[in-house]
Amino acid sequence: MNKDELVPNEVVKSKIVILRDEKVMLDLHLAELYAVETRALKQAVRRNMDLFPEDFMFILTADEVETMVSQIVIPSKQHLGGALPFAFTESGVAMLSSVLKSARAKEMNITIMRTFIALRKASLNYNEIMKTLERVVNTVKGHEDEIKLIFDYLKHFEQKKNEEFNQANRERIGFKQKA
């Protein structure tokens, strides 16, 4: 893929991970998407630390790095070059556009923000579906025997319908008159 082309949403989605109960993107993935070196991205952030409070960006612990390596989010600890990665929340990614000035960074920020929004919408739909399913399950509890009886009646009616259909469409025997 040419570095000047925009990245599909699926690629961006694959770079979003959950850490500390937050959807975040790691510095190495953002640097890849922005087509800059990770060290340059970190340097720009360090110069502007006042723009990145802990709810915008945090540094992973060694245990979190181990977890990320074991889940193949990070290829290896050596890949990090000895530095602990930065994790950026949605707000932190939005703030990156103020410290990374390239046109590519601005375009990627728009794509990433749209992806975060799409994930949030999907999450809301999922939560609504789960609530509805929970209500259905709670409504059904205690009615298992009645539901089984309804299915037994439905099977019985289906069998009767099939028998009637087979009877009506059976091959006729006996004398057949030509028309």
Task: Please write the tens of the pLDDT for every residue from 19-61.
Answer: 898 889 999 889 888 888 989 999 999 999 999 999 999 999 9
pLDDT at 87: 93
76-86 pLDDT, tens digit per residue, is 776 677 788 99
Residue 2 has pLDDT above 50, yes or no: no
pLDDT band at 6 (very low <50, low <70, confident <90, very high): low
Beta strand spans in the chain (E): 16-19, 22-26, 57-59, 86-88
Nearest Cα neighbor of 45 from 9, 84, 95, 83 is: 95
Residue 77 phi/psi, 5° resolution?
-65, -35
CA distances from 58 to 6, 19, 45, 122 (A): 27, 10, 11, 25
CA–CA gap between residue 9 and residue 72 (Å, rounded) = 20
